[in-house]
Amino acid sequence: WNIEEDRLDGPRIRLKNLKALDSISKVHKQVVALDLPFESWGALEIREQIGEGGFGRVYRAFDRNLSRTVALKLLPDEQEDKLLADLRFVEEARRLAGIKHPNVVTIYGVDRFKDRSGLWMEWLEGEDLDSALQHNGPFGAMEAAALGVDICHALAAVHKAELVHRDVKLSNIFRERGGRVVLMDFGSSTRQTCKTAFDDLNHLSGTPVYIAPECFDGIDSRERIDIYSLGVTLYCLSSGKYPMEPGTPDEIRQRHRDGELVPLLDQNPELPTRFIEIVNKAMHTDPAQRYQSAGEMEHDLTGYLGNAHMPAPNHRPKTAPKWFPALAAAAVLAIAAVALFVILPMLNRFDANAELRLRNDDRRTSERLEQGSVVHPGDSIFAELDLSHKAYVYILNQDRRGRQYLLFPVEGLEKTNPVPAGEDVRLPEDSIDGWDVDTIGGEETILIIASKFPVTFAEDLIARLDQPGNGRPIKLHEDMATRLRGIGGLSVPKPNKGDSPVDSMKSQLFLQTAGNDGIRVWEYKLRNPE
């Protein structure tokens, strides 16, 4: 820095600022380095701390044996009954590792090194629901219900392993970039039950506002604890608020006793009655009046989404019916028919992944865009897909003012629907750099849909959008004639009453994708700051 300062003839204020920034950066790196417990733990190289809670710290680490990034969770070094806690942690973490379910984070292993117990799990790219809520505001009822269905599936798998999560909440539910919803952070499931902790409320497992009220009185209702927490999660997702003022465990217990829970309808009067009924039942103060299993709650959520209309199953034991030979034969045929409808689709499973990429200045390389990535005028964006089958792909853009643009398919391009199967399929197409960012746009939402079959409402929407021809100028609303839109190469859609087409499509998609293995949806929100 001194050499550069001697060379400089003009004002040195900018150089001094850069020098100060460099000093701060070095100090920060030293502090971060001091935060790491070890450089390595077993075969894992610890890179950085990414989270911390009452049940330990989480680090990004690199598995040297398998050459992959993982998330490593280490138990706290200082705790009472450390040996007993470590034994319980290792035993139950091994049971967690036996759960193989797409909506449950995959545990790769559990072990003890350097006098610290820990487990390592898959590394996820995306954001947790707490961050999504902060960035985007409250979710619609259908989107919240669709997420609830996924978490019910996750909880059913956890409960089948005779475990209780005990800390279901927004920040422990992760949505990957590809749309997969994952339940994670099982620290509380390996700790005390309500019965062993009620004498000291500060040792209760979980986050106070999400904890079932009976836990404050030492009653362990097992799976129904998770049902209550999921109800609170859906309440928060759909309203953007907690059901009661957050506080310490002692304060939350008193608020339950005083009946201070705010009705969901008062928080968001636009929510459908049926959705509110489901959330209210999950959050019932009496465990016996709640859903008795994750499957029972999933049944009602799926029914709300339009995929089931039968009443929730009665879990009372029933007397086995007497089968006559003819009925038994019919049953065998029915089972065979069900097997055909269940197994054949699995053999023809539709796998797809999509990501947005930003072309670098050299125009030959690119980098992946994440949620919240910043784009600037002059940047070029394209989509890259991996498709197991040929697919109908629809890509739309909506700016923060609600104006929509069609990115794909558009007339004049060689690539059109259906898009052939393959890896690294580029859209709009190889001969075009991508979609250009024309000017400042605030925020851009890009919706990518891939389906094995044409999506009717997507096709209807496309029919309403103006299609740009090659070299044809962009059409703008009259009141926007002096302002260019955010992402280029598209026309502005015709005016549409009611919800915007993209918002309407999102609602339809969450309805259609619940339980549907033939459609994949990705939503990106990019920042294009003014």
Task: Give the pLDDT of residue 117.
Answer: 84
> pLDDT (tens digit, 9 = 90+) per residue, 313-359?
444 444 444 444 444 444 444 444 444 444 444 445 677 888 999 88
Sign of the four-CA dihedral 482, 484, 490, 496: negative
Whether residue 223 sits in one domain with residue 200: yes
C-alpha pair distances (Å), 260 with each of 249, 252, 282: 15, 9, 17
Catalytic residue among 63, 128, 167, 226: 167
Name the DSSP class of 165: -
Tell me whether residue 215 is in a domain.
yes
CA 402 to CA 486: how far, in whole Å? 12
Kindly give the residue spans of alpha helices, DSSP state H, lying in 129-263: 129-136, 141-160, 194-197, 223-239, 249-257
Specify if 500 maps to a domain.
yes
Do 284 and 420 fall into the same domain?
no
Per the annotation, the verdict on 167 as an active-site residue is: yes
- Answer yes or no: do 60 and 172 share one domain: no
Which of 102, 122, 142 is the last residue before a domain boundary?
Answer: 122
Instruction: Tally the domains of the chain.
Output: 4
Q: Which of the 8 DSSP states describes residue 101? A: -
412: in domain: yes
Q: Please give the biggest Cα pair distance in the chain.
A: 102
Q: Of 72, 53, 54, whose CA–CA distance to 62 is shortest?
A: 72
Residue 101 sits in a domain whose CATH number is 3.30.200.20
As a three-state string, the secondary structure of 388-455 is CCCEEEEEEEEECCCCEEEEECCCCCCCCCCECCEEEEEECCCCCCCEEECCCCEEEEEEEEEECCCC
Same domain, 499 and 447: yes
Query: In one letter, which amino acid is 2?
Result: N
Q: Side chain identity at 323, as an amino acid letter?
A: W
Pair 375, 274 in one domain? no
| 155, amino acid identity | L
Tokens read off for 14 = 């900018």
Determine whether 58 is exposed, middle or buried from the number of CB atoms within 10 Å of its CB (0-12, 13-18, 19+). buried
Please report the beta strands in 285-379, taking only residues with DSSP state E, as ranges in sequence order: 352-359, 366-368
The amino acid at residue 409 is: P
The SS3 of residue 163 is coil
One domain, residues 193 and 81 = no
Domain boundary among 84, 102, 122: 122
pLDDT along the chain (530 residues), means of 10: 56 64 54 62 91 78 92 76 66 81 90 85 91 90 92 94 90 87 71 42 63 89 94 96 92 92 95 95 96 95 68 45 46 46 50 86 81 82 89 82 76 84 85 72 80 72 52 32 35 39 53 56 79
* 13 and 108 part of one domain: no
Cα separation, 130 vs 133, whole angstroms:
5
Within a domain: residue 392? yes
CATH value at residue 208: 1.10.510.10
Same domain, 254 and 140: yes
What pLDDT shows up at residue 332?
42
- pLDDT score recorded for residue 219: 85
Nearest in space to 37 (alpha carbons), one of 52, 25, 49, 55:
49
pLDDT digits (tens, 9 = 90+) for 507-528: 555 544 444 557 788 888 888 7
Residue-level length of the chain: 530
Domain shared by 510 and 380, yes or no: yes
**Is 366 part of any domain?**
yes
Task: Please choose, from the candidates 242, 286, 50, 281, the residue with its C-alpha nearest in 3D space to the C-alpha of residue 148.
Answer: 281
Residue 330 lies in a domain: no
Evaluate whether residue 314 is within a structural domain.
no
User: In terms of residue numbers, what domain contains 254?
Assistant: 128-304
For residue 323, tell me if it sits in a domain: no
Cis peptide before 249 (omega within 30 of 0): no
Q: Helix (H, G, I), strand (E, B), or coil: what is residue 372?
A: coil
User: First vs last Cα of the chain: how many Å apart?
Assistant: 34
From 304, 320, 344, the end of a domain falls on 304
Q: Buried b / exposed e across 502-530, counting CB within 10 Å, b at 16+?
A: bbebbbbbbbbbbeeebbbbbbbbbbbee
Same domain, 134 and 263: yes
Angle at 212 (CA atoms; ends 209, 215), nearest 5 degrees: 110
Same domain, 367 and 483: yes
Amino acid 33: pLDDT:
44
Asked whether 59 and 46 are in contact (CB, 8 A), the reply is yes
Q: Are residues 197 and 241 in the same domain?
A: yes
**pLDDT per residue as tens digits for the range 273-309:** 999 999 999 999 999 999 999 999 999 998 888 743 3
73 is in an annotated binding site: yes
**What per-residue confidence (pLDDT) applies to 301?**
93
Q: How far apart are CA 387 and CA 430, in angstroms?
A: 17
What local confidence, expressed as pLDDT, does residue 311 receive?
45
The 10s digit of each residue's pLDDT in 401-435 is 666 778 888 877 888 888 988 888 999 877 677 88
